[in-house]
Structure 1
Amino acid sequence: MAAIALLAVRFAQGWIYWGGGTRRFIYGPQKLDPAGHWMAYKFQTAMPGALLGTNHLISYLLHHFTLLYIGVIAFSAIEMIAGFMLIAGLMTRLAAVASIGLSTVLMLMFGWQGATCIDEWTMASANFAMGITLFLAGSGAYSLDNYLLRKNSALGERTWFQWLGGSQPLPLSAKGFKRLGLALFWISVVWIVGTYSYYRGSVITPFHGGPVSPAKHHLSLSNAVILKDGSLRFQAYLDAGTPADPSHILRIELLRSEDGRVVETWDTRALAELPKKSFQNDYPYQQFSAHRFGIVAGVGAKAMIILPPIQAAPLAEGPYLLRVTSVNDHVWTAPVRPVQ
C-alpha cells in the first residue's frame, strides 16, 4: 500500500525536474543560447536576495562566462537526468538525493522571489521534503529498480544498490532507520520554517515583505560625484523587485542638501538620449540602458552611470544630493561628493 501511495509523489517530483531540463535542451533551446535572452538573465535576477553568500557566487559566475555556461548546462542536465530516473524509478534514492540538492540550491538563490507569495520558496521547500521522503522510502511499485532486482537477485545483496536503488528498504536496523528519518525530518523543519521566517516572518515575528522585496523595485545609489567637466557620475544597483518587469527611471535631479533647491534636472527626454557609453554595466546580461521613457533596468543590473555636464555654473559649495525618480513615483537619494 505504501509503495502504491508513493507513485504520485515520485512521478510529480520527477516530472518537475524532467520538465525543467527538457525545456532547455529540447523544447526551448534558446534558453541555453548565449546569443539570446538565455538563462544567465534569470540567474542574475536571483542575486539581490540570494542567501549564505550565493549572491557572491552568482556575481563571480556572471563575470566568468565559461564557468557560468558550464554551470547552467550541468544544472539543467542534472535536472533532466534525475527527473527521468525518478519517473522511471531507476536508482531512485540517488535521484532523490540529487533532487534534494537541486531544491536546496533553488531555495538559496531564488527562494526570495514571488510578487504575491514566495512562489520559488514554496516549490523548492515542497521538493526538498519530497526528495527526503523518496530517499527514505525508495521507489515503491512499478519501478526499474524492481525490474533489475527481479532480473538479477544478487543485486539485493549489494550495499551500493540498497543505498542508491529503491526496491528494498535501506540497510539499517529499525532503530537506525528511525534515527535517520527523524534527523532528516528535523533538518526539514529547521530549514523550511527558518527560511520562511526569514523571508516573510509570520512565525515568531509579524508578517513582513522580506529583507529583499520581490514585488517593489529598489535602487541602491552610491559613489555619486561631480566630475571636473561638470558631469555627474554615480553607481546604481537594482537590488529588489519582481524580475518579470523592468524598472524605469523618469527623472534624475541634483539638489542642494541644505535647502532642497533643485540645481539641475535630467528629464525623461535627456535620459532617453543618453549614449551607450554613459552606462558602464558590471554584467553583460541584465543592464541599465537608455529607453524611450528614460532609463530602464532589470533586477540584478548594476552600473556606473554618467550624466551630461551640469548647466548651472559655477556650482556653489555643496553639499549636494542626488535624487532619482521612477515611473512608479518611487524616489531614491544619495549624497554627492564635491567636485573631483
Structure 2
Amino acid sequence: MSTIAYPAAGRGRVASDAEQRAWRISAISLMSVRVIQGFIYWGGGSRRFIYAPGKLNPHAAHWMANKFQTAMPGALFGMGHVISFMLHHFYVLYAGVILFSAAELIVGLMLMLGLFTRAAAVTSMGFSVVLMLMFGWQGATCIDEWTMAACNLAMGATLMLGGSGAWSLDNVLLRKKPQRADSSWFRWASGSRALPVSDLGFRNLALAVLAFVVVFNVGTYSYYRGSVVTPFHGGPVSPTAHHLTLTEAVVLPDGSVRFHVTLDAGTPEAPVHVVEAALLDASGAPVAQWDTEALSKMSKTSFANDYAYNKFGPGPFGLRAAMGAASMITLPAPAVHAGSVASARTLRLTDVDGRVFQTSVQD
C-alpha cells in the first residue's frame, strides 16, 4: 500500500491512503451538521440585519433589549447582573447587541462555507454557552432555549474536532498554498486537515471536550428541571407561572402607599395583570383596597421603572407588566380614615389568575 506524509499524526508520522480516506470520509460526513449549525447562527444575525431590522431599532417594539430583560430572572452565574448593567447603559447595550448579531452572522457564514471552520466552531460553542446561561430556563412547555443551545454546543464541539474536510473553502486555501498543511495555526483554525496532534493527544482532547459538553449540558438541565438525579421540578425560576417580589412597602404621610415590585418569573409571551391591591391589618383583615378599575386609572407618574424597556404601568385589567420589569409604584391614598391606613401591616397584590403576593409594611 502506498503511503503519504501525514502531519496530523505527529512529526515524522506516515499515514496510509486508507487512513487519509477514513478521515476525509468522516469530515465530509459532518457536512449536514456544519451547514445547519452555520445556518442557525447566520439566521439569527440575518434576521436582525436584513429581515427584521426592528430588532436592532431601540424605538421598535421588538428591540432586543426587551428580549434581554426577559432573561434576567433566571440567568446563571451572574449573567443577570451583566444584563442589568447593559440595560442601564444604552451605548454598552447597543454596541453589545450589534457586535453579537454581527458575530453570529459572520460565524454562521464561515461554518456554511467551511472557512476557518474550527475557529468558527469554537466561537459558536461560546455563543451556545452564553445563550444557555441567559435564556436556558425559558420555555412554556419545555426548556426550548436550553434544548437549542445544548444541541448547538454539541454540534460546535463535533465540528471543532472533525473539521470541514474536502468540501470547504479551507481546502481551497490549502490547494492554493499546500505548505499550509505544515502550519499548526492553520490546522487548528481551519478544517481541511485533521488536527496536528498524535492519536493519543486527539483521544485525550476529544474526551476532555466530551466531558465539558456533558457536564455543562446535563448540569444545567438538572439545575433547570431536575430529572437527572432528582425528581422533575419547575425550575428555580418558573417559565410558566408569573411571580411578583414585593419589597420596601411603606405608607406615606398623605396615606398613599409606595412599594417596589419585580416580575421575576413566568413566560415572556404574556404580561402579568395585577387586578387588586390591598392593605391588611395585623389580623389579616383589609383596611384599604384598590380594585381593577382604580389600578387601571393610575397615572403613569405613579411608576418609577428601573428599566426603560419592559415596564410596569396601568393597563386595561389593572396593573400590567412584561417579564423582567421592576418598578417603584405609588398607590394613591385610599378614601378611608387615616388611622385605618396607619394600622396596615401587610401589602397584598392579586393577579388575574388568583395568585397572591405580599410583603410587610415598614413602620
Is TM-score (shorter-chain normalized) higher than 0.5?
yes
Q: Is 2:278–2:347's contact at 8 Å kept on the other side of the alignment? A: yes
Q: Is 2:255–2:338's contact at 8 Å kept on the other side of the alignment? A: no
One of 343, 355, 363 as aligned partner of 1:318: 343
Instruction: Give the deviation of 1:314 after TM superposition.
Output: 2.8
Instruction: Give the deviation of 1:5 after TM superposition.
Output: 1.5
2:300 maps to 1:276: yes
After superposition, give the CA deviation of every residue in 1:123-175 in whole Å (9 maximum; x if it has no partner): 00110111110000101341111111112112112211111000011111111
Count the aligned residue pairs.
Answer: 337
Task: Give the RMSD, CA atoms, in angstroms.
Answer: 1.0
Name the residue aligned to 1:196: 221
Name the residue aligned to 2:320: 296
CA distance in 1, matches of 2:28, 2:184: 25
Name the residue aligned to 2:121: 96
CA distance in 2, matches of 1:107, 1:217: 21
After superposition, give the CA deviation of every residue in 1:278-318 in whole Å (9 maximum; x if it has no partner): 00000000000111211110010000000001322232563
2:71 maps to 1:46: yes
Does 295-304 or 248-257 show the bigger shift?
248-257
The 5 Å alignment of 1:54-65 reads 54-65=79-90
One of 168, 173, 180 as aligned partner of 1:148: 173
The 5 Å alignment of 1:173-184 reads 173-184=198-209
Instruction: Give the deviation of 1:261 after TM superposition.
Output: 1.2
CA distance in 2, matches of 1:3, 1:332: 56
CA distance in 1, matches of 2:318, 2:117: 53
Instruction: Give the deviation of 1:24 after TM superposition.
Output: 0.1
CA distance in 2, matches of 1:175, 1:333: 60
Q: Is 2:279–2:344's contact at 8 Å kept on the other side of the alignment? A: no
CA distance in 2, matches of 1:301, 1:319: 26
What residue ranges of structure 1 are gaps of 5+ in the alignment? none
CA distance in 1, matches of 2:315, 2:43: 35
After superposition, give the CA deviation of every residue in 1:196-223 in whole Å (9 maximum; x if it has no partner): 1000001111000000000111000111
SS for the counterpart of 1:8 is helix
Instruction: Give the deviation of 1:319 after TM superposition.
Output: 5.0
Q: Is 1:232–1:310's contact at 8 Å kept on the other side of the alignment? A: no
Q: Is 2:75–2:133's contact at 8 Å kept on the other side of the alignment? A: yes
One of 257, 277, 281 as aligned partner of 1:232: 257
Which structure has the greater CA radius of gyration? 2
SS for the counterpart of 2:42 is helix
Q: Is 1:232–1:308's contact at 8 Å kept on the other side of the alignment? A: yes
CA distance in 2, matches of 1:23, 1:189: 30
CA distance in 2, matches of 1:183, 1:320: 56
Instruction: Give the deviation of 1:257 after TM superposition.
Output: 2.6
Does 156-165 or 317-326 show the bigger shift?
317-326
Q: TM-score under structure 1 normalisation?
A: 0.97
Q: Is 2:256–2:334's contact at 8 Å kept on the other side of the alignment? A: yes
CA distance in 2, matches of 1:286, 1:319: 30
Name the residue aligned to 2:146: 121
Name the residue aligned to 2:42: 18
SS for the counterpart of 2:247 is strand
CA distance in 1, matches of 2:166, 2:268: 41
What residue ranges of structure 2 are gaps of 5+ in the alignment? 1-24
Q: Is 1:234–1:306's contact at 8 Å kept on the other side of the alignment? A: yes
CA distance in 1, matches of 2:93, 2:193: 39
Q: Is 2:116–2:190's contact at 8 Å kept on the other side of the alignment? A: yes
One of 224, 232, 246 as aligned partner of 2:271: 246
